[in-house]
Amino acid sequence: MLFEVVTTASMLGVWGASHYYRTNTSNDSDKILKIAENCGLYKKDEKLRLFRRNRSKDGSYTEYVYKIPLGLELEDFTDKYGKFKDGLNNRSVHRIDLREFKRLKLDRTLLKQMQRILNNRVQLNKELEMEYDGMLKIRVYNEGLQEKYDLTQEIMRKCKPWHVALGRTLNGQVDHDFESGPHLLIGGATDMGKSNILNVIINTLLHNHADEVKFTLIDLKGGLEFGVYENIKQVQNFAADVFDAKTALENVQAEMSKTFDMLRRTGKKNVKQAGIKERHFVIIDESAELASEGEVDREIKKLKIECENLIKDIARRGRASGIRLLYCTQYPTAETVSSQVKRNLITRICLPVDTSTASGVVLDEGGAEKLPLIQGRSIYKRNRTKVMQSYFIDEDLISQTVTPHINFRARSEKSSASQRGKKEESARSYTTVIEEA
C-alpha cells in the first residue's frame, strides 16, 4: 500500500511541476503585456507585442522577447520595474516537494500528511531583468537571489590571476579583474556588508597570491575592521588614524614614484610590460574620515587636505605602477568622494543607501536606494549594472587564510612594547614630584 501511495504522489508531483511550468509561463507573458498596458507603455494603437519565448536549459528562467512600440525606450520599462515585479508575484502557487514523501509517518495521520504536502502553497518570489538590443528582453527568474552565499576555499582557488569572486547575480558569479579594473569605489549604509566585501577581497588575494600581494590598510574606524591583518607579512603599512594615514599614503606615493622612474628608464608603459608580478592594494575603510570639508581644526584640516592630494595621485598614477586603490565609505556624498578620485575609480559597488542622491554619488545613477535591506545585497557596476548578493566569508575561513602569514615575532615585539608603555605609565602615576619653590 505504501508503494502505491508514494508512486501516486510522485506522479502527482511530476504532473504538478509540468502544470506549474505551463500555466506559470503563459500567465507571466500575459501579465507582462497587461502590466505594460496598465502602465501606459503603448503609443496610440501600438502595444507591446511578444516576439518569442525562450526557456533556459536549467529551467531557472524564461526569457520573453518583445517588440516595443515606436517612441518608447528601455528606460520607460525599467522605470516601472517595481510594478512588473509586484505584478508577477501577486499570488501564491502550489509547490509539491517530493522530499517530503520520504518523511511520511506510517500512522493514522498518513492521509492528512499527504494532503498537507499536496496542498502546500508558497508565495511567488520571482525576479526579472530587462535589457534592450533592438528588442526588449525580459528575463523572469523562478526564484530571486538568496540572502546568503558562502565563500569557500574552492571558490577562491578557481579565481583567475588577480580575479576575485565578489558574489552572485541571477545569472551566475561576479568576478572582478583587478588588472582591467584596478581601482574600486565601494559605498553603502552602515552594517550593510561593506566590511565583508573587503574581507572577501583581502582573503582571496592572500589565498591566491601570498608571495605577490602587498597591502596598505587604512582603517579609520580605530583599526578594528582590519586588526586581524595588521601583523601579516604582506601588510606594508597599517593606519588607524589620520596621522598614520598620511604616513602610509606618503610611503605608497614614494613607492609609486620609484616604480615610475624604473619604467621610464626601461621604456615600459606599466608593470605588466616590465614583468613585475607584485601588486600593492591600498584599502581605505571609511574614507569620509579623511574628508577636509567641514573640518574645523586648522591643523587637522591641513593634514586631511594632504591626504586627499595623496589619494588623488595614487588614483591617477596607480594603475601603471601596480597599485590598486579600494576607496570605501559609509557616507557617500560629494564631499567624501571627490570628483577627481571618482573619475579614476571606474568600477563601483553600492550597497543599500537611504537616498537616490547617495546612490548617484557612487554609481552615477539611482537604484541602490531601492535595494532590499539585506546585508551584502548590492549593485556592481563595471560596463553595466548588476544586482548581486556578495559572498559571505566567515571567521573560520579568515583565520585559516590569515594565520599562516602572521609575523608572530612582530606581534610579540609590538605586544611587549605595549606592555612596557603601560608599566611606564603606571610607574609615572605613582611617582611623587616635588618642586622647589
Residue 336, CB-side half-sphere exposure with 13 Å CA sphere: 20
Domains of the chain: 2-141 (no CATH), 149-408 (3.40.50.300)
CB 349 within 8 A of CB 356: no
Q: Vertex 301, ends 300 and 306: CA angle to 5°? A: 95
pLDDT means per 10 residues, the chain with 437 residues, are 51 49 66 94 92 90 94 92 89 66 80 73 79 94 92 96 96 94 94 95 97 96 87 96 96 97 96 96 93 91 95 95 95 83 92 93 91 94 92 97 85 51 49 45
d(CA 325, CA 319): 9
Cα distance between the two ends of the chain: 107
Name the residue among 309, 322, 323, 182 with its Cα closest to residue 250.
309
Q: What was the pLDDT predicted at 410?
A: 57
Name the residue among 37, 279, 275 with its Cα closest to residue 178.
279
SS3 state at 326: strand
384-419 b/e with 16+ CB inside 10 Å = b? eebbbbbbbbeeebbeebbeeeeeeeeeeeeeeeee
Q: How many CB atoms lie within 10 A of CB 370?
A: 14
Q: Which residues, at least 6 apart from 33, have a Cβ–Cβ distance to it below 8 Å?
A: 47, 48, 50
In sequence order, the β-bridge partners of residue 380 are 349, 386
Whole-model pTM: value is 0.79
- What H or E segment, with its residue span, contains residue 165? strand 163-168
Cell numbers for 130, please give them: 530587462
Q: Which residue has the cell 570605501?
A: 328
Long-range contacts of 125-130 (CB under 8 A, 24+ apart): 125/89, 126/28, 126/85, 126/88, 126/89, 127/85, 127/170, 128/81, 128/84, 128/85, 128/88, 129/170, 129/171, 130/74, 130/77, 130/78, 130/81
CB 327 within 8 A of CB 186: yes
In sequence order, the β-bridge partners of residue 185 are 327, 348
The identity of residue 223, as a single letter, is G
d(CA 16, CA 347): 45
Q: What was the pLDDT predicted at 23?
A: 46
Name the residue among 185, 173, 124, 177 with its Cα closest to residue 149.
173
Helices (H) and strands (E) in the chain, counts: 12, 17
CB 198 within 8 A of CB 326: yes
CB 238 within 8 A of CB 223: yes
Q: Which residues, at least 6 apart from 77, have a Cβ–Cβ distance to it below 8 Å?
A: 36, 41, 68, 84, 130, 136, 138
Q: Which residue has the cell 549593485?
A: 379
Cell numbers for 118, please give them: 499536496
* DSSP per-residue codes, 64-110: EEEEPPTT--HHHHHTTHHHHHHHHTSSEEE---GGGGGG---STTH
Name the residue among 329, 405, 346, 391 with its Cα closest to residue 199.
391
Q: What was the pLDDT predicted at 26?
A: 57
d(CA 242, CA 230): 17
